[in-house]
Structure 1
Amino acid sequence: MTKQVVFTEEANPPLPIYSQAIISGKTIYVSGSIGIDREFKLVEGGVQAQTRAALDNLTKVLKGAGVTRDSVLKVNIFLTNLQRDFAPLNEVYQEYFPTNPPARTCIGVAALPLGADVEIECIAELP
C-alpha cells in the first residue's frame, strides 16, 4: 500500500495527530472538518455558518490534492442536534453540491470538538 499525505497551506492547519487528507491509490480520504477559522475558533452564525466554513475547508484540502468537489464520492456529516440542524445544514449543503450530489450519511452525535455543531468528512477519487 502506498500512502501519500495531503497538506495545503490554504486549508486550516491540522493538529499534529492527523493529516488533512490521505491519498491511497486513486482515493482521497479527507479528515473531518468543523466550522472553525485558522486560529481554531468556531465561526459565529450557528450550523449554517459552521457548515460553510467546514465545506470551504474541505474544498481547499481537495484542491490541495488536485481535485474539486465534483470528485467527491461519499460525505459523512455529524450533527450535535440532528432534529434542529438537519434542514438548515441541507440548505447550505445544496449550495456546494447542487447537481449529482455524492452519497451521504448524516449522524446525530452527543458532542464534537470545540463545541462545534457540525463536522464533515469526505472520500473523493483522483482522475
Structure 2
Amino acid sequence: MVKKVVRAADGVPPLPVFSQGIVTGNLLYASGCIGCDNDLKLVGDDIKAQTTRALENITKVLKAAGSDLEHIVKVNVYLINLSENFAPMNEAYLKHFEGVTPPARTCVGVAQLPVNALVELELVAEIPQ
C-alpha cells in the first residue's frame, strides 16, 4: 500500500502527531478539523461559526488532495452538547453542501474537543481520476 501525505499550504498547520490527510489508492482520509484560524484560535463561540470554519478548513485539505465536496463519501461529526448544538450545526453544514448530494454521515456527542472547540469534522473522500 502506498500512502501520500496531504498538506494544504493555506490551511491550519497540522500538529506533529498527525497529518492533515492521507491518500491511499483513490481515497483521501482527512484528519479532524475544528473551527479555528491558522493560529489555532477558535473563530467564534457559537456552533454555526465554528462549523462553517471547520468545513472551510477541511475543504482546503480536499482541494490539496485533488478532490472536492462532491466526492466526499463519509463525514464523522463530533459535537459538544449534542442536544443543544445539533440543529444549528446542521444549518451551517447544509449551507456548505448546497447543490451537492450530502455524503453519508455520523454525528456523535462528545465530552470535550481540542482547544474547547464545539465541533470537529473528519471525512473520507474519493479522488476523481
Report TM bin, short chain: over 0.9
Counterparts of 1:74 and 1:94, CA distance in 2: 15
**Which residue in 1 is equivalent to 2:72?**
72
Distance in 1 (CA, whole Å) between partners of 2:31 and 2:21 is 6
Stretches of structure 2 that go unaligned for 5 or more consecutive residues are none
1:1-127 equivalences in 2 (<5 Å):
1-98=1-98, 99-127=100-128
Residue-by-residue CA offset, 1:39-87 (whole Å, 9 max, x unaligned): 1111114110000110000000100011111110000000011000000
Q: By how many angstroms is 1:100 displaced?
A: 1.0
Alignment gaps of 5+ in structure 1: none
Q: CA deviation at 1:8?
A: 1.7
TM-align CA RMSD:
0.8
Alpha-carbon distance between aligned partners in 2 of 1:8 and 1:82, rounded to the nearest angstrom: 30
TM-score (norm 1): 0.97
Partner AA of 1:46 in structure 2: D
Task: Determine what percentage of the aligned residue pairs are the same residue.
Answer: 51
Q: Equivalent residue of 2:23, what SS?
A: strand
Comparing 94-103 with 18-27, greater Cα deviation is found at: 94-103
User: SS of the residue aligned with 2:115?
Assistant: helix
Under a length normalisation based on structure 2, what TM-score does the superposition of the two structures give? 0.96
After the TM superposition, which parts of structure 1 deviate over 4 Å for at least 4 consecutive aligned residues? none
C-alpha separation in 1, matches of 2:110 and 2:45: 20
* Distance (Å, rounded) in 1 between the aligned partners of 2:119 and 2:8: 22
> How far 1:113 sits from its partner (Å)?
0.4
Superposition deviation, residue 23 in structure 1: 0.2
Letter in 1 for 2:111: A
* Alignment partners' CA distance in 1, 2:83 and 2:65: 34
Counterpart amino acid of 1:112?
L
Residue type of the partner of 1:126? I
How far does residue 10 in structure 1 lie from its aligned partner after superposition?
A: 1.2
